[in-house]
């Protein structure tokens, strides 16, 4: 094509280069900014997860310490101490610990009382009172086969069960159990049942940005706090959620120790940052709308496009 005016020739030659340069600059800037924002977001989320994980772990360690103290006391005195003294000790203990729902002593056959195969008294809160029940000390219940007992007898340290839903109280609970060891031999175990409302309050207080919230599940996906209060009350498991996207997300969370995944509720896409509470294997997550994370990038892209258009017009 032959242009007679030098200005036209320059415009035809320079303008496409300018346009291309502006487009490339916009793409590079947007990509670099997205990478930077993603890195800073991950660092922020990891710090949030670590802080809340440490707080939850602190509560659980207090319960473990309590269970250990009871076990050591019983081990050193069970041959000469009447049950009434232990009952008073457990009553005082649960009365002064808001997180504790109840505590029990569970002995091996004939270990505490030579005439009783099942000796498992349990003291629990009933309103403002502490009540003792013996209804678990029988072959029908057979506490020797219960998870808390097998955990304790198979370990040398306190073990915390996966959370479970108690339909009677309508709460999510967990049990810490530790063996009673005498002369290297386990003669039973101590249990301390944990009321998880203090822990769920921690999760409920997690707020990141405008839409970021906390979610806590057991190692198997049982919903403890966050996501959906109704499902928490129902003892739902997110690996069996009616949203296939949530199920896929939860399977990823269970399979890995920490990382980033996501799900969609049909209206919004969520990015999920997660970590594992080492003491129990429970999964702590922060879910935030993907749009909120990308909003600064979108704003930057719009500004870059506007600058590009102005630069081309000026040229």
pTM of the entire predicted model: 0.77
pLDDT at position 166, please? 65
Distance in angstroms (rounded) separating the CA atoms of residues 269 and 266: 8
Distance in angstroms (rounded) separating the CA atoms of residues 141 and 146: 9
**Cα–Cα distances in angstroms (integers) from residue 77 to residues 93, 120, 180, 259, 315, in the given order:** 18, 17, 11, 48, 92
Query: Tokens at residue 30, please?
Result: 């947007």
Q: Cβ neighbours of residue 170 under 8 Å, at least 6 residues apart? A: 233
pLDDT at position 118, please? 95
- pLDDT single digits (tens) 13-34: 777 777 777 777 777 777 776 6
- pLDDT single digits (tens) 158-188: 998 888 766 655 667 888 999 999 998 999 9
pLDDT at position 146, please? 92
Of 11-20, 192-201, 205-214, 236-245, give the lowest mean pLDDT range: 11-20
């Amino acid at each position: 094509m032959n242009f007679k005016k030098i200005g036209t020739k320059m415009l035809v030659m320079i303008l496409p280069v300018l346009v291309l340069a502006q487009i490339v600059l916009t793409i590079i800037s947007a990509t670099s900014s997205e990478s930077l924002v993603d890195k800073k977001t991950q660092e922020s989320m990891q710090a949030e997860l670590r802080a809340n994980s440490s707080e939850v772990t602190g509560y659980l360690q207090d319960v473990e310490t309590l269970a250990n103290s009871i076990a050591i006391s019983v081990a050193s005195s069970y041959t000469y101490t009447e049950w009434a003294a232990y009952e008073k000790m457990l009553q005082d203990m649960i009365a002064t610990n808001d997180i504790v729902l109840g505590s029990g002593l569970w002995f091996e056959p004939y270990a505490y009382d030579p005439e009783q195969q099942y000796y498992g008294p349990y003291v629990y809160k009933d309103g403002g009172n502490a009540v003792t029940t013996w209804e678990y000390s029988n072959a029908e219940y057979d506490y020797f086969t219960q998870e808390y007992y097998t955990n304790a007898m198979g370990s040398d340290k306190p073990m915390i069960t996966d959370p479970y839903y108690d339909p009677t109280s309508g709460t999510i609970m967990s049990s810490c159990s530790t063996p009673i060891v005498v002369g290297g031999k386990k003669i039973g175990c101590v249990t301390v049942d944990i009321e998880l409302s203090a822990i769920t309050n921690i999760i409920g207080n997690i707020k990141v940005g405008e839409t970021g919230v906390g979610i806590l599940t057991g190692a198997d996906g049982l919903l403890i706090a966050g996501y959906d209060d109704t499902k928490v009350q129902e003892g739902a498991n997110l690996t069996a959620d009616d949203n296939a996207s949530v199920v896929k997300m939860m399977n990823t969370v269970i399979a890995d120790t920490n990382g980033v995944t996501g799900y969609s509720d049909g209206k919004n896409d969520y990015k999920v940052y997660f970590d594992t509470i080492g003491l129990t294997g429970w999964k702590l997550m922060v879910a935030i709308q993907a749009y909120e994370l990308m909003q600064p990038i979108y704003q930057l892209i719009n500004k870059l496009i506007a600058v590009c258009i102005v630069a081309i017009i000026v040229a």
